[in-house]
Structure 1
Amino acid sequence: MTNEIIQFRNVTKQYDDDPAVLDNVSFEIERGKFYTLLGPSGCGKTTILRLIAGFTEASEGDIYFNGKKINDVPANKRQVNTVFQDYALFPHLNVFENVAFGLRIKKMKNTEIQIKVKEALSFVNLEGYETREIRDMSGGQRQRVAIARAIVNEPEVILLDEPLSALDLKLRTEMQYELRELQRRLGITFIFVTHDQEEALAMSDEIFVLNKGKIQQSGTPIDIYDEPINRFVADFIGESNIVEGSMIKDYLVEFVGGQFECVDRGLNPDEPVEVVIRPEDLEITTLERGKLKVRVDSQLFRGVHYEISCYDIYGNEWLVHSTKRAAVGDEIGLYFDPEAIHVMRFGESEADFDRRLEAYTHGVVHEQ
């Protein structure tokens, strides 16, 4: 058995004459990992979930589960379970009967149902809640019931469609930890849908960033954050300072009137680029030491840091996250290391980026 549990091959989903919700998407999901589909509303992430679950059919392309094409396999025959945004619990059934519902549909023996429901509730720390009414449960408890109902059927994949969105911030953070730990204990594949970047970064083994029906970039949270492929990813994942520049040569880039050492390579000399520096990678310093000279426009206290907005002489805004304060109107210097600079080619796709690095590694940088 291969390690890939789900494969999408050139999958398109389109309704009537509207633009494609998913546009020729291909990817693979490995078993036993926590995946997140991340992107703005309408980008196609929930459509991917529905295609995997069998709630909708692809217009073009093929979907494979454990190496077998499942385009025509009905939803109730697929080894997946879905946890919905509203949990879709039955209000007239207590906790035990909500979790047992799928097992009763399968006509499982009562003794076996008792064992499996007890095990599922234990996994989500709800032992002793069997007779509790759903209306008497908190939001976090209801979510755990929904997860218990999903895992009791022993699926190979659990699909989670923004299940934390209705929770308050504190409970949402707690449930992020619980979900991640639960996935590790179960050892099965979780595919989680969210538009919350911090949630995706905190929970995932791998992230797929989507926009307008296409996967813009996939990778680990660190890959996505530190090496964004294009402006959309850099802007959507965390906060970024993005300015236009020009590549001088490998390890040297020009922007805002200066030339700066960087760690990027494989681009052509004089090629127009976009330069990304994260706010936390900018250090407030003296004008003499600063690589950039800016004037402070505003400052907000965010608890663990100050969020400082500055402008350089070219009119570029620079956002700085720092434990140091700076008075509005002050001229200050900003210092950054070469590793803080990330250079992006205009409009580069993930495949283009991979090919560029591979070509450079083999000593052949192709002209674009």
Structure 2
Amino acid sequence: MAKSIISFEHVTKRYEDTEDAVLKDICFDIEEGKFYTLLGPSGCGKTTILRIIAGFSEATAGDIYFDGQRINDIPANKRQVNTVFQDYALFPHMNVFDNVAFGLKIKKLSKAAIQEKVMEALRLVQLKGYEKREISEMSGGQRQRVAIARAIVNEPKVLLLDEPLSALDLKLRTDMQYELRELQQRLGITFIFVTHDQEEALAMSDEIFVMNKGKIVQSGTPVDIYDEPINHFVADFVGESNIVKGTMIEDNLVEFVGKQFVCVDGGMRPNEPVEVVLRPEDLNITTAEKGKLVVKVDTQLFRGVHYEIICYDEDGNEWMVHSTRKAKEGSQVGLYFEPEDIHVMRFNESEEDFDARLESYEE
């Protein structure tokens, strides 16, 4: 098991001018050498967690541990973390070398040591040869790499990244996702990345903390989060979902839209009200006779890699389908899916209860 480098124990953050807490009894462990993402909508508290780790903000209650040491009272400049901000916070009057060397000069390292460390940092972010370039002459992606080089040159144990890709265009943003992931693996240090972009989180992370209204509502690998969302918020926020109300008749049998379907979920009460999730890519368009559901095609959009098709069943439920084949608007078609494509969620189930139910059911 990997070593825990950061722990939050019942951390709450409240500002005097706000009635509700920004963070509510947060507990988690960050393991060394992994890429973590704090994912959630604006105002959910993810940047506040980053600021508390960095020492820019104090917790109202609870304890924060770094490498086994309580750090609540340790100032920001004494913590073994560095932050890459959304606007990069580069010095426009300095060239690339001087930007990266700034922190080392503050520490009064020798010129030879600074030269060696800066050049190694620039090599790691693939900016060797750019050391004399002015910041104003750099592209958005290059500026981001300068900011990362300035952060890693101090050899932090943890690198904090506060939505550093948000200002980039789509193509560059995608390229930088690959670069950041590869850089983290090369360096072997812990990255904690903040974003509201669920595709970004799924693509880059070892572990994701999904946040909403000051709480971590689910944590796990990208596959866990996508395939096994524990509630409506996670299912709706992470990826596209078709969510309908249903009834869990018994283990492996669920009813929704007036029909019963075999599924792979269990561990719930007989006839318990539930919500059912079917991802658009798991629905296959077939003939009305062969479909498990019969729907009418309403509209469709071409998304490049697939068509996004909106259909409605006879009860008025909307179904989104992702298909590589075009459908005919106004036509009646069938939707086919396998039992493992059905994901059943309890109402208001916590992550702890979900894990316990899953373990007991699998046993």
- TM-score, normalized by the shorter chain, greater than 0.5: yes
> 1:204 matched to which residue of 2?
205
The runs of at least 4 consecutive aligned structure 1 residues that moved more than 2 Å come to 358-362
1:303 CA displacement = 1.2
Q: Superposition pairs for residues 156-305 of structure 1, below 5 Å?
A: 156-305=157-306
Separation (CA, whole Å) in 2 of partners of 1:197 and 1:361: 29
RMSD, aligned CA: 1.0
324-333 vs 61-70, greater mean Cα deviation = 324-333
Separation (CA, whole Å) in 2 of partners of 1:140 and 1:215: 31
Q: Give a deviation string over 1:327-349, Cα, whole Å, max 9, x none.
A: 11101000000010000001111
Q: What amino acid sits opposite 1:110 in the alignment?
A: K
> 2:8 matched to which residue of 1?
8
> 1:69 matched to which residue of 2?
70
Q: What amino acid sits opposite 2:245 in the alignment?
A: E
Asked if structure 1 preserves the Cα contact closer than 8 Å seen for 2:2 and 2:32, the reply is no
Separation (CA, whole Å) in 2 of partners of 1:303 and 1:167: 21
Asked if structure 1 preserves the Cα contact closer than 8 Å seen for 2:246 and 2:256, the reply is yes
Q: Residue 246 of structure 2: SS of its match in structure 1?
A: strand
> 2:86 matched to which residue of 1?
85
352-361 vs 115-124, greater mean Cα deviation = 352-361
Separation (CA, whole Å) in 2 of partners of 1:295 and 1:356: 37
Q: Residue 56 of structure 2: SS of its match in structure 1?
A: coil
Gaps of 5+ in 1: 363-368
Percent identity between the two aligned chains: 76
> 1:366 matched to which residue of 2?
none
Separation (CA, whole Å) in 2 of partners of 1:357 and 1:74: 42
Q: What amino acid sits opposite 2:78 in the alignment?
A: K
1:304 CA displacement = 1.1
Aligned CA distance change for structure 1 residues 88 and 305 (closer, same or farther; 3 Å): same
1:206 CA displacement = 0.5
Q: What amino acid sits opposite 2:290 in the alignment?
A: R
Matched, 1:124 2:125: yes
Gaps of 5+ in 2: none
1:2 CA displacement = 6.8
Asked if structure 1 preserves the Cα contact closer than 8 Å seen for 2:207 and 2:220, the reply is yes
The count of corresponding residues between Structure 1 and Structure 2 is: 362
Q: Residue 333 of structure 1: SS of its match in structure 2?
A: strand
1:30 CA displacement = 0.2
1:101 CA displacement = 0.5
Q: So what's the TM-score if we normalise by structure 2?
A: 0.99
Separation (CA, whole Å) in 2 of partners of 1:86 and 1:36: 19
Q: What amino acid sits opposite 1:239 in the alignment?
A: E
1:174 CA displacement = 0.4
